[in-house]
């Protein structure tokens, strides 16, 4: 039986944002495929999730353990970091208490694979190597420095961006150093796999998207859909999501609302910035906390993913397709999803093309229905969680026998 330690920077349950969905579904997929799993996670102040909320069977099957820590940024911490050589993005994830818990687990158990959920958990590689002979695998949710590169390249010069550019150079240096210390990478998209090769990684890689239980998403309630509604749903404390919504509001919304005067735009997600909460635009609705994702998806019509920066896979697109939504996305937003860009979802990059795609759907219910049907069929074919993780387990067995 394969034995895996999954080390995470965010508590995975409730799985209510992209990264926690990716972590939780991976853990459940490993369990469903017969893996002996241990899961150790930082339970952050910002995204705190009480251990009491975690289902008892998942706790038992994953040997679940969380360690509360405050990973929040602060002005003082950001300033003092300038006098060190470390990236502030990275250093705030290292804690002695968590390291002690890791040592205890490694001392009491023998693992075949230690899977780091994201590059920030690579700060514990030295500890892992000291106490374990397991293969170390980076599950790369994103290529972190690429997110900031895209953002900085599309932003105006400012003192804040100057600071971020310093931090991003350090982050890139750290990511490159990590590549020399690990045995394999599990990127979420083939695009990221190519980038890792370009960065000089020569060991094995296996692309593994985030799977979902599509049947659960397809179970319908009695909620009636609200016509002529478009929506954006994401963690609004994440810079690329803020950037995406701002771009749509500034470049597309006026065109859409004039063409379809009774259309409504819903912006939803936790961590909503004050600037969005204070928006006072006709037919724009802000929902700061979505209590039930399923009912939210079911009542609004067209999903928008106008991302300009970011890396890896947008879990919300996978969820949207599993729910059978009609989706309009930029190429960046749909990276890693190899579907028909006209029939499974709509890809549009310029403000004009994006606006026209949304307007066309708002005026064509038959096209919306066809996109919904195609999205559902694609999700069943490509996203089934147990099958997705089964292929990863096969890769791990090959890695161990190489």
The chain-wide mean pLDDT, for the chain, equals 90
For 85-119, give one letter per residue: b (16+ CB within 10 A) or e. ebbbbbbbbbbeebeebbbebbeeeebbbbbbbbb
What pLDDT shows up at residue 172? Answer: 87
Residues 153-208: tens digit of each pLDDT: 677 778 777 777 777 788 888 889 999 999 999 998 888 899 899 989 999 999 99
Least confident interval from 32-41, 284-293, 334-343: 334-343
> Which whole-number Å values give the CA distances from 43 to 136, 291, 374, in the listed order?
22, 20, 38
Residue that has been written with the tokens 């350090």 in this structure = 170
Closest CA to 395 of 113, 126, 163, 159: 113
Which domains are delineated in the chain? 3-211+384-401 (3.40.50.2000), 215-382 (3.40.50.2000)
Q: What whole-number distance in Å separates Cα of residue 261 and Cα of residue 147? A: 35
Of the pLDDT bands very low, low, confident and very high (cuts 50, 70, 90), residue 47 is confident
Share of the chain above pLDDT 90, in %: 61
Cα separations in angstroms, 321 against 18, 204, 224, 325: 14, 30, 19, 6
For 39, 62, 63, 232, 324, the CA distances from 58, given in Å and listed in that order, are 10, 6, 8, 31, 28
Give CA 17 to chain center in angstroms.
7
Q: Which residue has the higher pLDDT, 124 or 92?
A: 124
Q: What is the DSSP string of 146-202?
A: HHHHHHHHTS---HHHHHHHHHHHHHHHHHHHHHTT-SEEEESSHHHHHHHHHTT--
Residue 358 and residue 394: Cα distance in Å, rounded?
41
Q: What is the pTM of this model?
A: 0.74
The reported pLDDT for the residue numbered 145 is 73
pLDDT tens digits, 89-100: 777 788 899 999
Confidence of residue 83 (pLDDT cuts 50, 70, 90): low
CA distance 244 to 5: 35
Q: Is the pLDDT of residue 16 over 90?
A: no
Helices (H), 185-268: 190-198, 214-218, 239-251, 253-259
Torsion sign, CA atoms 86, 89, 95, 99: negative
């Amino acid at each position: 039986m394969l034995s895996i330690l999954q080390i995470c920077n965010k508590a995975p349950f409730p799985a209510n944002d992209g990264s926690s969905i990716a972590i939780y579904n991976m853990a459940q997929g490993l369990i469903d495929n017969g893996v002996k799993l241990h899961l150790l996670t930082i339970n952050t102040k910002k995204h705190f999730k009480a251990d009491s909320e975690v289902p008892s069977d998942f706790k038992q099957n994953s040997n679940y353990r969380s360690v509360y820590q405050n990973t929040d940024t602060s002005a003082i911490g950001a300033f003092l970091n300038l006098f060190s050589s470390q990236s502030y993005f990275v250093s705030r994830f290292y804690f002695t208490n968590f390291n002690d818990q890791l040592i205890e687990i490694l001392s009491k158990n023998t693992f075949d694979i230690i899977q780091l959920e994201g590059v920030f958990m690579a700060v514990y590689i030295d500890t892992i190597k000291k106490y374990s002979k397991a293969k170390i695998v980076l599950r790369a949710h994103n290529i972190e420095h690429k997110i900031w590169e895209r953002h900085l390249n599309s932003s105006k010069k400012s003192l804040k961006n100057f600071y971020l550019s310093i931090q991003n150079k350090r982050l890139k240096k750290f990511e490159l150093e990590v590549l020399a210390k690990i045995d394999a990478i599990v990127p979420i998209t083939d695009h990221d796999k190519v980038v890792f090769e370009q960065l000089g990684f020569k060991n094995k890689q296996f692309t593994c998207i985030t799977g979902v239980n599509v049947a659960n998403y397809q179970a319908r309630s009695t909620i009636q859909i609200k016509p002529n509604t478009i929506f954006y749903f994401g963690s609004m404390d994440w810079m690329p999501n803020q950037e995406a919504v701002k771009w749509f509001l500034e470049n597309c919304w006026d065109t859409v609302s004039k063409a379809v005067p009774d259309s409504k735009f819903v912006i939803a997600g936790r961590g909503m910035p004050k600037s969005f909460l204070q928006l006072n635009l006709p037919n724009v609705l802000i929902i700061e906390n979505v209590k039930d994702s399923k009912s939210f998806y079911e009542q609004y019509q067209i999903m928008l993913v106008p991302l300009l920066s970011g890396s890896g896979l947008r879990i919300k697109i996978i969820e949207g397709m599993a729910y059978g939504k009609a989706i309009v996305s930029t190429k960046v937003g749909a990276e890693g999803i190899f579907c028909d860009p006209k029939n499974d979802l709509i890809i549009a990059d310029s403000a004009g093309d994006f606006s026209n795609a949304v307007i066309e759907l708002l005026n064509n219910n038959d096209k919306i229905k066809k996109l919904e049907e195609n999205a559902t069929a694609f999700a069943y074919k490509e996203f089934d969680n147990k099958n997705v993780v089964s292929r990863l387990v096969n890769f791990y067995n090959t890695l161990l026998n190489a």
